[in-house]
């Protein structure tokens, strides 16, 4: 019995010792783990900018998130370019040494100094990101831009955060508001903070936010006020939200009308450019030129060719293509007039058939040279983007450039016809050919130059169209009917009538599209023009000329 008790006692002592040993091991392990975590945190906190750049080339997204935070607070001048390239998928690294580079149209460039980095594409690898990193990147980019010296960049940063302000960002925005000196940025900051205050538990704070947002023209504000008007528990907040919603809805409808008018004017400008050259050849010379659309096509292809000759310089190529397209299409027009049209004056049906055959020849020639596939033309930077008036109205810059370009071409053509000797001879021949010839005007020369002038204007129209649509062999066929409609509706041979008719048809088309659809709108306008011509066969602004002489 005593022996068993001794054995049990020994077992207890050993097991107790073993338990103590196990507890000691556990405590040591926890201590070591804590030390490792502290060391890791110390290393993370002490991560340099160079180390952060190297981390981006790795595979751990957690480490990359930490590296982005380090880079955003570094103050380095290239961080914004790095963030932009990473967001757009253009940030790469060289496999050989892990050097970060940015991929562009001309190849790879160094992140720090922008110098070209030689190497083949397979020698570089894209820096990978996931959705969490993209969200963090957008927040860091916005925070970085908030401290930018340029007020426009600060304003863009606040607008990007509008409706997405988190409680963690509220304190930073309030601090920024106290430091901000630009009035527009201040208003945007106040509106962004007011959007967050709509979720406040304090009724007075929500009411103040509603009153602030009632003057902010933005679609998100309308949705927020509608929600407040329907769901808020406070009667005063509901009433203020309904009043603000009513005023903003009326404002939105007004600016929607302005935007429709703007789209109509831009479409009308395209129609004017397409029809103004035809107004000369058809209205002044009495020639039904069915190859007019193909002359526009030649102008568009001239733009494409110049961009191929000047890679990476779309703005310069576009500016040079305007005189080049005028010369190319004008020379082709002179060849057509000297080779075919001069034998067919006074026979409009035969000119229609002859020029239709020429249009088919030009289309086939382009297919043979450039292939039947559509070609894309790069839009220069000054035409891309939008001009933001407010949250309800943003005007695309390419349409604005087309409108201004149309007015410039029209003004130049009017000056040429009214102030130059060629314009005087053109008007003389169009009014009385025999009398002009007796006065010493060489009508054959004037005919060739007039047809070349109209053809050159068609080429310039093709340059404008290349910025709105793809360039292809059938480009001109899409606008030839509209061009004839503009000329007939405005008054044959009257340039002012062409301008008014083109802009009117463009606005009418855009007004009818939401109601009837694009195709039915065109049909309605065509029927309306036919009925109008029945009442006024010579159009809005009748013009005396060769076509109406007999």
pLDDT means over runs of 10, the chain (550 residues): 46 44 46 40 58 81 81 73 80 85 82 81 84 76 70 76 71 78 83 84 89 88 90 89 92 93 91 87 79 92 92 89 94 92 84 91 92 87 84 89 93 88 79 76 84 92 89 87 87 84 90 83 86 83 53
- How far is the C-alpha of 131 from the C-alpha of 504, rounded, in Å? 48
Give the pLDDT confidence of 284-328 residue by residue, as tens digits. Answer: 677 888 899 999 999 999 999 999 998 888 889 999 999 999 999
Asked whether residue 229 falls in the same domain as residue 362, the answer is no
- How far is the C-alpha of 166 from the C-alpha of 146, rounded, in Å? 15
Number of domains the chain is built from: 4
**Domain end position, chosen among 46, 61, 82:** 46
Asked whether residue 485 falls in the same domain as residue 427, the answer is yes
**Which residues, including other chains, have CB under 8 Å from residue 491's CB and lie 6 or more apart?**
283, 497, 498, 501, 538, 539, 540, 541, 542, 543
- How far is the C-alpha of 350 from the C-alpha of 290, rounded, in Å? 11
E-strand ranges in 31-90 read none
Asked whether residue 41 falls in the same domain as residue 63, the answer is no
- What is the domain extent for residue 208? 155-233
Q: What is the pLDDT of residue 544?
A: 56
Q: What is the pLDDT of residue 20?
A: 42
pTM, two decimal places: 0.71
CATH code where residue 270 lies: 1.10.3470
Asked whether residue 35 falls in the same domain as residue 97, the answer is no
Q: What is the pLDDT of residue 283?
A: 66
- How far is the C-alpha of 213 from the C-alpha of 547, rounded, in Å? 61
**Domain end position, chosen among 169, 199, 233:** 233
């Amino acid at each position: 019995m005593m022996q068993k008790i001794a054995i049990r006692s020994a077992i207890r002592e050993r097991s107790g010792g073993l338990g103590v040993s196990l507890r000691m091991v556990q405590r040591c392990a926890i201590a070591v783990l804590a030390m490792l975590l502290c060391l890791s945190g110390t290393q993370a906190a002490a991560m340099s900018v160079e180390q952060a750049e190297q981390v981006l080339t790795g595979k751990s997204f957690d480490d990359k998130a930490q590296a982005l935070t380090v880079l955003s607070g570094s103050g380095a001048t290239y961080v914004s370019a790095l963030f932009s390239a990473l967001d757009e998928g253009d940030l790469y690294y060289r496999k050989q040494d892990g050097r970060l580079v940015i991929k562009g149209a001309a190849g790879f460039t160094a992140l720090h100094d922008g110098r070209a980095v030689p190497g083949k594409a397979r020698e570089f690898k894209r820096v990978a990101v996931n959705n969490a990193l993209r969200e963090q990147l957008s927040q860091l980019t916005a925070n970085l831009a908030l401290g930018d010296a340029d007020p426009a960049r600060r304003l863009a940063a606040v607008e990007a955060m509008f409706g997405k302000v988190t409680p963690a960002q509220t304190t930073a925005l309030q601090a920024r508001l106290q430091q901000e000196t630009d009035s527009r940025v201040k208003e945007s900051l106040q509106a962004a903070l007011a959007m967050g205050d709509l979720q406040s538990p304090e009724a007075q704070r929500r009411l103040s936010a509603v009153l602030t947002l009632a003057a902010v023209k933005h679609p998100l504000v309308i949705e927020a006020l509608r929600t407040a008007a329907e769901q808020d528990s406070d009667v005063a907040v509901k009433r203020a939200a309904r009043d603000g919603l009513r005023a903003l809805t009326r404002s939105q409808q007004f600016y929607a009308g302005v935007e429709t008018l703007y789209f109509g004017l831009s479409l009308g400008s395209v129609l004017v450019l397409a029809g103004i050259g035809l107004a000369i050849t058809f209205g002044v010379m009495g020639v039904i030129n069915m190859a007019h659309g193909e002359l526009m096509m030649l102008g568009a292809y001239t733009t494409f060719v110049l961009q191929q000759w000047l890679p990476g310089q779309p703005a310069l190529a576009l500016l040079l293509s305007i005189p080049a397209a005028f010369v190319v299409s004008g020379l082709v027009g002179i060849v057509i007039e000297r080779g075919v049209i001069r034998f067919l004056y006074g026979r409009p049906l035969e000119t229609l058939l002859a020029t239709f055959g020429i249009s088919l020849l030009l289309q086939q020639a382009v297919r043979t040279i450039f292939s039947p596939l559509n070609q894309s033309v790069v839009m220069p930077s000054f035409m891309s983007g939008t001009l933001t008036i407010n949250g309800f109205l943003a005007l695309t810059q390419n349409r604005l450039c087309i409108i201004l370009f149309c007015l410039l071409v029209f003004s130049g053509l009017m000056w040429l016809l009214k102030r130059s000797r060629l314009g005087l001879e053109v008007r003389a021949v169009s009014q009385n050919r025999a009398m002009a010839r007796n006065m010493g005007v060489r009508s054959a020369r004037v005919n060739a130059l007039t047809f070349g002038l109209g053809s050159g204007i068609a080429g310039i129209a093709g340059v404008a169209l290349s910025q709105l649509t793809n360039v292809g062999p059938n480009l001109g066929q899409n606008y030839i009917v509209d061009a004839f409609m503009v000329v007939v509706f405005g008054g044959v041979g009257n340039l002012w009538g062409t301008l008014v008719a083109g802009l009117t048809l463009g606005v009418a088309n855009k007004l009818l599209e939401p109601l009837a659809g694009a195709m039915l709108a065109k049909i309605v306008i065509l029927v309306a023009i036919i009925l109008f011509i029945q009442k006024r066969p010579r159009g809005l602004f009748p013009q005396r000329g060769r076509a109406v002489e007999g």
